[in-house]
């Protein structure tokens, strides 16, 4: 097969660098733990993974024909992925606004960083934590503060019933417990 059909350009890997993840005008709130995780990922990529990969790519480049050298081709691709992720993390950390939930004075209402236990219309008890866009992990029950459920819960108190717009329609949920 001709190299013309297998050659990848750097442009296709950098295309999503400039895509906005946050809606325009929205601040990038983040908890101290979320910022620490981003910093740890940045350090891991920058200080450990990238230097090892540069060494591998350099070794592979010295082995001759690069067009059929798997170590070189994969290494260069992975290097572009790492560089793209590093740029993304750097940009997001620069605009991050750290909000420490432990400093929240009004603990009777739902605000950023709150852990909320609520009852669904099917009498199921669910728990979530409201965090920043860059740190939300649904598998751990963490949702972004701009998600529909977080927006509905903001400023609610224990016992309040709020309506959440879901793909299936509007669901009513009752706030059972709030903690920080």
The boundaries of the domain holding residue 113 are 101-179
As for how many domains the chain has, the answer is 2
- The Cβ of residue 65 has, within 10 Å, a number of other Cβ atoms equal to 7
Contact 37, 93 (CB under 8 A): no
pLDDT digit string, tens, across residues 128-148: 999 999 999 999 999 999 999
Cα(43)–Cα(50) distance, rounded to whole angstroms?
Answer: 10
We report the CATH number of the domain holding residue 44 as 1.10.287.180
Same domain, yes or no: 123 and 171: yes
Widest Cα–Cα separation across the chain: 70
Same domain, yes or no: 80 and 129: no
- Of 65, 81, 98, the position where a domain reaches its end is 98
Rounded to 5 degrees, what are φ and ψ at 162?
A: -120, 155
pLDDT digit string, tens, across residues 2-52: 444 444 544 444 545 554 567 777 889 999 999 999 999 999 999 999 999
Q: Let me know if residue 17 belongs to a domain.
A: no
Same domain, yes or no: 78 and 125: no
Confidence of residue 114 (pLDDT cuts 50, 70, 90): very high
Please give the pLDDT value at position 20: 53
- Examine the pLDDT at 63 and tell me if it is beyond 90: no
**152 vs 1: which has the higher pLDDT:** 152
Q: Let me know if residue 15 belongs to a domain.
A: no
**What's the mean pLDDT in 160-167?**
93
Cα(118)–Cα(53) distance, rounded to whole angstroms?
Answer: 46
Same domain, yes or no: 30 and 89: yes
Same domain, yes or no: 94 and 105: no
Confidence of residue 74 (pLDDT cuts 50, 70, 90): very high
Q: Let me know if residue 9 belongs to a domain.
A: no
């Amino acid at each position: 097969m001709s190299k013309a059909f297998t050659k990848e350009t750097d442009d296709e890997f950098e295309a999503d660098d400039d895509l906005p993840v946050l809606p325009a005008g929205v601040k990038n709130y983040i908890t101290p733990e979320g910022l620490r995780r981003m910093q740890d990922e940045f350090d891991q990529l920058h200080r450990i993974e990238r230097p090892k990969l540069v060494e591998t790519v350099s070794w592979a480049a010295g082995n001759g024909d690069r067009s059929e050298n798997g170590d070189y081709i994969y290494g260069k691709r992975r290097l572009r992925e790492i560089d793209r992720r590093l740029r993304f993390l750097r940009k997001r950390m620069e605009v991050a606004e750290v909000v420490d939930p432990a400093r929240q004075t009004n603990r009777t209402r739902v605000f950023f960083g709150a852990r909320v236990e609520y009852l669904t219309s099917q009498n199921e008890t669910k728990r979530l934590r409201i965090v920043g866009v860059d740190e939300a992990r649904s598998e751990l029950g963490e949702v972004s503060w701009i998600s529909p459920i977080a927006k509905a819960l903001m400023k609610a108190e224990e016992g309040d019933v709020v309506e959440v717009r879901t793909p299936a329609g509007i669901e009513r949920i009752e706030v059972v417990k709030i903690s920080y």
